[in-house]
Amino acid sequence: MGQDNRSAASSQQVAQVDNSQDEKSLLLHNSPFMKACRREKTERTPIWLMRQAGRYMKEFREIRSRVTLLELCKTPELACEVTVHAQEKLGVDAAIIFSDILVPLDALGVGLDYVKGEGPVIERPLRQESELDSLPELDVRESLSYVMQAISLTRKALKPDIPLLGFAAAPFTLASYLIEGGSSRNYENTKTMMYCRPELWQRLMSKIVSISIDYLNAQIEAGAQAVQVFDSWMGCLSVPDYQKFSHPYSAQLIAGIKKDVPVIHFGTGNVHLLPLMKTAGASVLGLDWRVDLAKKWDELGDNIAVQGNLDPCVLFADQRYIRSTTENLLASVASKPGYIFNLGHGVLPPTDVDNVRFLVDLVHDYKG
Amino acid sequence: MGQDNRSAASSQQVAQVDNSQDEKSLLLHNSPFMKACRREKTERTPIWLMRQAGRYMKEFREIRSRVTLLELCKTPELACEVTVHAQEKLGVDAAIIFSDILVPLDALGVGLDYVKGEGPVIERPLRQESELDSLPELDVRESLSYVMQAISLTRKALKPDIPLLGFAAAPFTLASYLIEGGSSRNYENTKTMMYCRPELWQRLMSKIVSISIDYLNAQIEAGAQAVQVFDSWMGCLSVPDYQKFSHPYSAQLIAGIKKDVPVIHFGTGNVHLLPLMKTAGASVLGLDWRVDLAKKWDELGDNIAVQGNLDPCVLFADQRYIRSTTENLLASVASKPGYIFNLGHGVLPPTDVDNVRFLVDLVHDYKG
């Protein structure tokens, strides 16, 4: 299976890294996060948080009061600043480049905007063959160069032992935004295309896969040590629909990513899809709080790492509650190599930053 | 377990019904829907659809153009009309009274309104002890008498062999609307109350349970043959959170419903909660398309009936696709007594009514 090849290769890689790479690469290679991705033992459980640079931080809000979300994404110096600031303020074991999964849609010229209270809006949603035909060929190194510049700056600014993650949406998730014209509750137009226009669906997904492979590899070349694929909305699909309309494209995307780079495959509400999801080939599965993590990891087998899965709302509780819930989770999974602590989804805007720091310390100080 | 008691009692009931009830009761008792609720063999698979009376029907839209949703709920003659019309037009095996799960919030005086494009909005969401204290004591037979009147009228207007369902929200789902002030993506305020104010949560849930038991029993007295408990948003909870904060109240509610009346316990996105959900005691579990129905039913055991679970979006496809998907589902579950065909959630507004009728015929004509 994909993740076995991926991991086997990266284990053989150690000697090569020792000989040929410089000290900085070794520091990164031996960081707790990278070790956990390879299912090697770590001295402490690594932790990072989705949306760790976000509106819950006053320094972030201060910057966002001056620029729009897209302007922030498109200004490498600012994207670098918020990325590095969050990592340092929280003391987490990895940084993720500040950006948005939808910037490729901006590059495709379909009119991406973020409307207050509504989230992302696509001015010209794609529903017809002709709309697909009229999308431009994308050279992501050109049209999304600001992401690669941000990664390059951030790699230089981060401490040398802190891995930097790149990321992209999984094909189904990106397609659903493009087709629905924004967030969705029922994915009506997306599923209609899947069921009624399977050949159009296939063409669209293949185009997205090809763009996304280029995009993730460009991020890796620019300085990312690992990547996360946000298959965030896969959970809205039945098992046969996921198998037919989504899984093949996620698998193609993951297979196209440079070898020896860990891939975290993240989804929510997807308990029913886990065995299939594993066969898409990632090194790490990122899961949400609906999964009994210890039990499902057992069922999935030892040849895959896992990341997750505290409910982000637990950070609204008092520290006594945060401690007991976190320690229960750690007790169930942290003794096995290949576990990365994270929330089950992004940090929510009303979260108290002190509770996030408290969580990071809890995970670091935990003795199983 | 609850559902065993419930079902054993209703099987012993047959003789009693034969002797003491009139012919109409016998017709209802022996209808395919009621038989399936009791896991008895049926000549054909019974089917009804959540939100079968709804905006996808032009006759319904015509009535809704003259009255608001709340006015429609509060006018027994109109609620009866749309309920009976949908059952007859589709030829389904059961009717569900036209109403809304949130009418108890209107009766509680918290300012329920339905805002176009936003869904339900609660003007005065409940977050504090004092807000709970100031809620009135509710006599549902008085304040929700329009629902009971609608049921009584509808029972008389329906064909004598068509069972009528009453319904209510499950405690967690009703509480989440009341606390969030409407629909929610993350249930931030609801979970904050659960974690930080467990005693307030418990008091609120107990009050809701007590209201809902009265409400469902009043619906049964007015003429409903079965009831559905909409635990629609339970799937947002982790296993331990569901167990601690939601399951006990759903179980209390179900235990409080008149004996020998089938209870359908419906949830979405809740694959992870199924074994626990079964112990809440319903006779039938209503499940969504994220569940591999045949497999999960096997795991749950034969002492429970199941309802579901076609993705409502499948009705946007062409009839060839609808046929193959429906026949696959039927082939996997329809041979076992205790299966009721339904969608995994309500009929969506853009659905073509001809496709719904096509689906009903497909299910009725299916020879396994």
Catalytic-labelled residue, pool B44, B55, B141, B197: B55
Instruction: For residues B56-83, give the mean pLDDT.
Output: 97
Query: In angstroms, rounded to a whole number, what is the distance separating the alpha carbons of residues A305 and B308?
Result: 34
- A321·B235 Cβ contact <8 A: no
Query: In angstroms, rounded to a whole number, what is the distance separating the alpha carbons of residues B69 and B150?
Result: 15
A26 burial level (CB within 10 Å; 0-12, 13-18, 19+): middle
- A318·B196 Cβ contact <8 A: yes
- A269·B314 Cβ contact <8 A: no
Query: In angstroms, rounded to a whole number, what is the distance separating the alpha carbons of residues A162 and A198?
Result: 43
Beta-ladder partners of A165: A96, A226
If you count DSSP H runs as helices and E runs as strands, how many of each does chain B have, helices first?
A: 19, 9
Mutate to test the interface with A, among B238, B244, B246, B276 (most CBs of A within 10 A): B238
CA distance A178 to chain B (A): 18
As a whole-number percent, the residues of chain B with pLDDT over 90 amount to: 91
Residues from chain A contacting residue B328 (CB–CB below 8 Å) = 240
Give pLDDT tens digits for A264-301. 999 999 999 999 999 999 999 999 999 999 999 999 99
Overall residue count recorded for chain B in this entry: 368
Give pLDDT tens digits for A331-345. 999 999 999 999 999
**Confidence label for B355 from pLDDT (cuts 50, 70 and 90):** very high
The reported pLDDT for the residue numbered A202 is: 98
How many of the other CB atoms lie within 10 Å of CB of A116?
5
Residues from chain B contacting residue A319 (CB–CB below 8 Å) = none
A108 burial level (CB within 10 Å; 0-12, 13-18, 19+): buried
Query: In angstroms, rounded to a whole number, what is the distance separating the alpha carbons of residues A236 and A269?
Result: 8
- B191·A311 Cβ contact <8 A: yes
CA distance B100 to chain A (A): 19
| Whether B203 is catalytic | no
Distance of CA B110 to the CA centre of its chain: 23
**Residue B146: its H or E element:** helix B145-157
Whose CA is closest to B248, among B260, B231, B266? B231
The reported pLDDT for the residue numbered B117 is: 77
- Comparing CB atoms, the residue among A238, A292, A348 nearest residue B188 is A348
- A316·B195 Cβ contact <8 A: yes
Query: In angstroms, rounded to a whole number, what is the distance separating the alpha carbons of residues B78 and B70?
Result: 11
| Whether B51 is catalytic | yes
Domain parsing of chain B, residue ranges: 2-365
If you count DSSP H runs as helices and E runs as strands, how many of each does chain A have, helices first?
A: 19, 9
Catalytic-labelled residue, pool A6, A38, A39, A100: A100
The answer on pLDDT for B14 being more than 70 is: no
The reported pLDDT for the residue numbered A193 is: 98
- Comparing CB atoms, the residue among A238, A290, A313 nearest residue B187 is A313
Give pLDDT tens digits for B168-200. 999 999 999 999 999 999 999 999 999 999 999
Instruction: For residues B325-337, give the mean pLDDT.
Output: 96
The answer on pLDDT for A249 being more than 90 is: yes
CATH topology of domain A2-365: TIM Barrel (3.20.20)
The reported pLDDT for the residue numbered B16 is: 52
| Whether B64 is catalytic | yes
Query: In angstroms, rounded to a whole number, what is the distance separating the alpha carbons of residues B31 and A87?
Result: 63
Give pLDDT tens digits for A85-108. 999 999 999 999 999 999 999 999
**Confidence label for B325 from pLDDT (cuts 50, 70 and 90):** very high
The reported pLDDT for the residue numbered A16 is: 52
- B188·A241 Cβ contact <8 A: no
Whose CA is closest to A7, among A335, A336, A303? A303
**Confidence label for A9 from pLDDT (cuts 50, 70 and 90):** very low
- A196·B311 Cβ contact <8 A: no
Residue listed under structure tokens 């008092």: A318
The reported pLDDT for the residue numbered A117 is: 77
Q: Strand, coil or helix: what is B95?
A: strand
Give pLDDT tens digits for A121-136. 999 999 999 999 999 9
The reported pLDDT for the residue numbered B116 is: 84
Query: In angstroms, rounded to a whole number, what is the distance separating the alpha carbons of residues A146 and A76?
Result: 6
Residue listed under structure tokens 């409307």: A115
CA distance B15 to chain A (A): 42
Dump the DSSP string for B161-198: TS-EEEEEE-HHHHHHHHHHTB--SS-HHHHHHHHH-H
- B350·A239 Cβ contact <8 A: no
Residue in chain B lying closest to A188 (CA): B313
- B290·A195 Cβ contact <8 A: no
The reported pLDDT for the residue numbered A28 is: 96
- Comparing CB atoms, the residue among A188, A192, A272 nearest residue B290 is A272
Give pLDDT tens digits for B276-308. 999 999 999 999 999 999 999 999 999 999 999
Q: Are A32 and A17 in contact (CB under 8 A)?
A: no
The reported pLDDT for the residue numbered B129 is: 97
Q: Strand, coil or helix: what is B121?
A: strand
- B191·A328 Cβ contact <8 A: no
Q: Which residue has the higher pLDDT, A12 or A121?
A: A121
- B238·A187 Cβ contact <8 A: no
Residue in chain A lying closest to B347 (CA): A186
Catalytic-labelled residue, pool A177, A187, A215, A242: A177
Query: In angstroms, rounded to a whole number, what is the distance separating the alpha carbons of residues A163 and A223?
Result: 9
- A289·B238 Cβ contact <8 A: yes
Interface of A with B (CB under 8 A): 186-188, 191-192, 195-196, 235, 237-241, 269, 271-272, 289-292, 311-314, 316-318, 321, 328, 348, 350
CA distance B305 to chain A (A): 21
Query: In angstroms, rounded to a whole number, what is the distance separating the alpha carbons of residues B169 and A114?
Result: 34
Full-model pTM: 0.93
The answer on pLDDT for A321 being more than 60 is: yes
CA distance B81 to chain A (A): 28
Residues from chain A contacting residue B272 (CB–CB below 8 Å) = 271, 290-292
Query: In angstroms, rounded to a whole number, what is the distance separating the alpha carbons of residues A263 and B326?
Result: 37
Dump the DSSP string for A245-267: IIHHHHHHHHHTS-TTS-EEEE-
Instruction: For residues A243-268, give the mean pLDDT.
Output: 98
Mutate to test the interface with A, among B199, B241, B290, B291 (most CBs of A within 10 A): B290
**Confidence label for B356 from pLDDT (cuts 50, 70 and 90):** very high
Residue in chain B lying closest to A238 (CA): B290
Q: Strand, coil or helix: what is A75?
A: coil
Query: In angstroms, rounded to a whole number, what is the distance separating the alpha carbons of residues B261 and B227?
Result: 7
CA distance A145 to chain B (A): 33
Question: CB-hemisphere CA count at 13 Å for B125?
Answer: 18
The answer on pLDDT for B139 being more than 50 is: yes
Catalytic-labelled residue, pool B6, B127, B155, B177: B177
- A191·B328 Cβ contact <8 A: no
CA distance B317 to chain A (A): 5
Give pLDDT tens digits for A31-86. 999 999 999 999 999 999 999 999 999 999 999 999 999 999 999 999 999 999 99
Give the number of beta-carbon pairs within 8 Å between A and B.
Answer: 83
**Confidence label for B12 from pLDDT (cuts 50, 70 and 90):** very low
| Whether A51 is catalytic | yes
Instruction: For residues A244-261, give the mean pLDDT.
Output: 98
The pLDDT mean for chain B works out to 94
- B191·A239 Cβ contact <8 A: no
The answer on pLDDT for A227 being more than 50 is: yes
Phi, psi at residue B105, to the nearest 5°? -70, -35
The reported pLDDT for the residue numbered B21 is: 58
Give pLDDT tens digits for A146-197. 999 999 999 999 999 999 999 999 999 999 999 999 999 999 999 999 999 9
**Residue A165: its H or E element:** strand A164-169
The reported pLDDT for the residue numbered B3 is: 41
Mutate to test the interface with A, among B200, B272, B345, B351 (most CBs of A within 10 A): B272
| Whether A141 is catalytic | no
Residue in chain B lying closest to A350 (CA): B188
**Confidence label for A116 from pLDDT (cuts 50, 70 and 90):** confident
Query: In angstroms, rounded to a whole number, what is the distance separating the alpha carbons of residues A237 and B193?
Result: 31
Query: In angstroms, rounded to a whole number, what is the distance separating the alpha carbons of residues A302 and A339?
Result: 11
Instruction: For residues B207-220, give the mean pLDDT.
Output: 98
